[in-house]
Amino acid sequence: MRSFAILQILAFGLCWGQSADESKPASSNVMGAEYPRVFADGRGSFRLKAPEAQKVQVDIMAKKYDMAKGGDGFWTVTIPPQIAGFHYYRLVVDGVNINDPGSETYFGVGQQFSGIEIPEPGHVDYYETRNVPHGEVRQRRYWSPITQRWRRCFIYTPPDYDANQKARYPVFYLLHGFGEDERGWVVQGRLDNIMDNLIAEKKAVPMLVVVDTFVAAKPGEEPMVMHQDGRRPNIGGDVTGTFREVMLKELIPMVDSTYRTLSDREHRAMAGLSWGGMTTYMIAPANLDKFAWIGGFSGSTGGFGRGNVDLKTMQGGVFADAEAFNKKVKLLYLSIGSMEGPGAKNFHEALEKAGIKNVYFESPGTAHEWLTWRRSLNDFVPRLFQ
């Protein structure tokens, strides 16, 4: 077993073009920053100048690593190999959490965090910028009479959108997870790179991708956000109710009236990760006149991980008639990281038993994290609108 692990590390280094003892600045660093650095075997090196500090740590993946102070006032540490993918982290200086000046910041868990990319072994570039035609991510603000607020969404348009003025496109609505916002899929998720590469390889149909936030509250309602002290909001009743109204009455009409879309249900998809997946499962199956393609990445599946949900009664009984459901839904998709637990797999098996067609995807070796969701998106999108 130990020999196999050593071979994996050596293969990682060779595939990435460096030995296991060499390091490179992380791709998630701010411009010109030499630290943090990543090694071919997944280790990471961190450095911070804090000459007056008494104790400095790196807090990553729910574990803290003590840094050592040098005579020049720099604190450094090299941490053990981490799971490949994107990870939030912070530095802790004398008990105070700070973001690393060498890292870009990313909104997650309700706050801005530093982040580090640990490359996958081998030549994995489906979410990297490649020499292919590129689409655009456009920012769109729209007034919401329902919430009495301005809202923002991001819209990916494929490479030929402006050049091919006569073309109309299917639309895929994509949601983030709890504690994130509409920036998540664009920044941490590498949405545009994944879409560009799939379209260039002719694995995916050119489409618009609309990334909005499920955080939507009417005046007087508590928004579905994480408090700064880490507390979650009081969750009860119809947790997707206001966003459902926004999506069906404001967002979809705005997109269809502003962009060249194919506006029928056969050309409209919805998916999300984690809480966004649960939101998708609650909205899309109950509105099959609007959606024909449905996906959840690590999304809540109504309690199937606990085995206490009746498929025939959940979601207002939409799954009770398998034949009718299968006729309307072109794709019902479930995915999960192999380290996350049995919820999605149990849901998949219950659907299969009930005669409801669905696709199940499991990301090997990943948990509730962005690599799971990047892989899920890369697997889901080629199935749409075919």
188 & 46 share domain: no
CB 67, CB 89: distance < 8 Å:
no
In the chain (386 residues long), the average pLDDT of successive 10-residue segments reads 33 44 92 96 97 97 96 96 94 97 92 93 92 98 96 98 97 92 95 98 98 91 66 60 94 98 98 92 94 91 55 84 96 95 86 94 93 97 97
Range of 78's domain? Answer: 15-118
176 & 109 share domain: no
Q: Residue 360: which of 340, 339, 337, 382 has the closest Cα? A: 337
Is the residue at 5 inside a domain? no
Quote the pLDDT of residue 226: 60
Is the residue at 124 inside a domain? no
Is the residue at 1 inside a domain? no
Is the residue at 40 inside a domain? yes
44 & 160 share domain: no
Is the residue at 125 inside a domain? no
Is the residue at 3 inside a domain? no
Q: What is this structure's pTM?
A: 0.89
One-character DSSP codes across 133-186:
---EEEEEEEEETTTTEEEEEEEEE-TTTTT-TT--B-EEEEE--TT--TTHHH
41 & 173 share domain: no
Is the residue at 9 inside a domain? no
313 & 201 share domain: yes
Angle at 270 (CA atoms; ends 306, 135), nearest 5 degrees: 135
Domain of 311: which CATH number?
3.40.50.1820
Angle at 282 (CA atoms; ends 278, 287), nearest 5 degrees: 140
Q: What is the phi/psi pair of residue 299, to 5°?
A: -85, 150
Q: How far apart are CA 295 and CA 313, in angstroms?
A: 20
CB 86, CB 116: distance < 8 Å:
yes
CB 376, CB 361: distance < 8 Å:
yes
Number of domains comprising the chain? 2
Domain of 91: which CATH number?
2.60.40.10
